Structure 1
Amino acid sequence: MDRPARDVRTLPKAHLHLHFTGSMRSETLLELADLHGVRLPDSLTSGRPPRLRATDERGWFRFQRLYDIARSCVRSEDDMHRLVREAAEDDRAEGSGWLEIQVDPTSYAPRLGGLTPAVEIVLDAVEAARAATGIGIAVVIAANRTKHQLEARTLARLAAQYTDRGVVGFGLSNDERRGRAPAFEKAFEIARHAGLFADPHGGELDGPRSIRDCVDVLGARRLGHGIRVVEDPELMAVLARRRIVCEVCPASNVALGVYDKAADVPLRTLFEAGVPIALGADDPLLFGSRLAAQYELARDEHDFTDAELAELARQSILGSVAPAEVQRELLDGVERWLAGVGAEFVPTRPPVA
Structure 2
Amino acid sequence: MVQDSPTLPELIDMQIRTSGPMSVATYMGLGLTHPSKGYYKSADPLGAKGDFVTAPEISQMFGELLGFFFVNLWQQMGSPKAFTLLELGPGRGTLMADMLRVACRAEGFRDGLDLRLFETNPALIAEQNARLEPYEPKWIDAFEKVGEGPLLVVANEFFDALPIRQFVRMDTGWHERMVGLSEGRRSFGLSPTPIPASAMPEAVAGAEPNSVFEVGLANGEVMKRLAGTVSVQGGAILAVDYGYARTQTGETLQGVRQHRYADVLDAPGETDLSAHVDFEALGTVAANAGLAVQPLATQGQFLTRLGINERAGALSAANPAAAGDIAAAKARLVAPEQMGNLFKAFCAASPGLMPQGFAP
Specify which structure has the higher proportion of helix: 1
Q: Which structure would you say has the larger Rg?
A: 2
Relative contact order (alpha carbons < 8 A, sep ≥ 6): 1 or 2 greater? 1
Q: TM-score, normalised by structure 2?
A: 0.29
Q: TM-score, normalised by structure 1?
A: 0.30
